[in-house]
Amino acid sequence: MSSRRPDPLAQVSDFDIRLLRIFRSVVECGGFSAAESVLGIGRSAISQQMSDLEQRLGLRLCQRGRAGFSLTEEGREVYQSALQLLSALESFRTEVNGLHQHLRGELTIGLTDNLVTLPHMRITHALAQLKERGPDVQIQIRMIAPNEVEQGVLDGRLHVGVVPQASALSGLEYQPLYSERSLLYCAVGHPLFYVDDKQLDDERLNSQDAIAPTFRLPAEIQAHYQALNCTASASDREGMAFLILTGRFIGYLPDHYASLWVQQGRLRALKPNVRFYDLSLASVTRKGRRPHLVLESFLESLAATR
């Protein structure tokens, strides 16, 4: 009579769910060390928890050591399954909470960088109203590149995001929030920093080393970058600011973000009356999403701050 090896997980316990949440954080942070501050526990404790999870699953989930952190093939599959499980648990919790009409649960937001300096602060005000209505709501903000925000909303890792509005992706809904103006800047030390605008013709400006963003933008805004000599690129606006502040590149930045450096005399806008563009920023949510009282309350507050 042959004996059948029992399944590693005959049932999923609360302990397993806790380990899977830790595993998700480790993967999204890119390793044990980076996850310490997010999880609030030390690296050795995280390592032990991961070993416990691997033992319970009977699978090797990740490689760790001097070569750095990386997922195994099985680890990638477990990560995707964990996302589905945790998302389903959160949906169950928020739907049950909705029966009590009391805001509890999580709100995970993905933001493109450097929105906090926008003068209207609609996101800040909406979050304040959400916490007033639901003091127990847990808010997680992830600052990531716009393309990753949209993907995160699509696959359920994020409830809502805020991104520059380009062509709409299938499966997502966009609601305009802001319009911000970007100007063309150079930093102190750049050859054009002290040149009068009257002496800056298009040929001279367009021949300078410039920076292009790698995130999606509307075609009419891409034309502004196509006119420049883009020899460098950045995935976000902070990366563009780093390069501009070297004094070796010119590039576009939102005026609200650049204003402090302008006041300090470190940045200067080049021909601001003609070298600018206006970009719409939008909130993004997944089409056909399941009821989520916390998310709907946040979106209501966001709409009310217009």
- Mean pLDDT over residues 32-45, rounded? 85
- Contact 39/25 with Cβ under 8 angstroms? yes
pTM above 0.75, yes or no: no
Predicted confidence at residue 96, as pLDDT, reads 67
pLDDT at 100 over 80: no
Greater confidence (11 vs 101) lies with 11
- Mean pLDDT over residues 135-142, rounded? 90
pLDDT at 105 over 90: no
- Mean pLDDT over residues 242-247, rounded? 97
- Residue limits of CATH 1.10.10.10 in the chain: 14-81
pLDDT at 6 over 60: no
State the CATH architecture for 14-81. Orthogonal Bundle (1.10)
Task: Assign 278 a pLDDT band (cuts: 50, 70, 90).
Answer: very high
Task: Assign 101 a pLDDT band (cuts: 50, 70, 90).
Answer: low
Task: Assign 2 a pLDDT band (cuts: 50, 70, 90).
Answer: very low
Across 244-248, 288-292, 296-300, least confident range? 288-292
pLDDT in tens, 67-85: 778 889 998 999 999 899 8
Predicted confidence at residue 1, as pLDDT, reads 45
Predicted confidence at residue 274, as pLDDT, reads 95
pLDDT over 70 for what percent of the chain? 93
Predicted confidence at residue 10, as pLDDT, reads 60
- Mean pLDDT over residues 130-144, rounded? 89
Average pLDDT, the chain: 87
pLDDT at 164 over 90: no
pLDDT over 90 for what percent of the chain? 41
pLDDT at 244 over 70: yes
Predicted confidence at residue 115, as pLDDT, reads 75
Across 59-63, 222-226, 258-262, least confident range? 59-63
- Evaluate whether the domain defined by 179-280 bears CATH number 3.90.76.10: no
- Residue limits of CATH 3.40.190.290 in the chain: 179-280
pLDDT at 19 over 80: yes
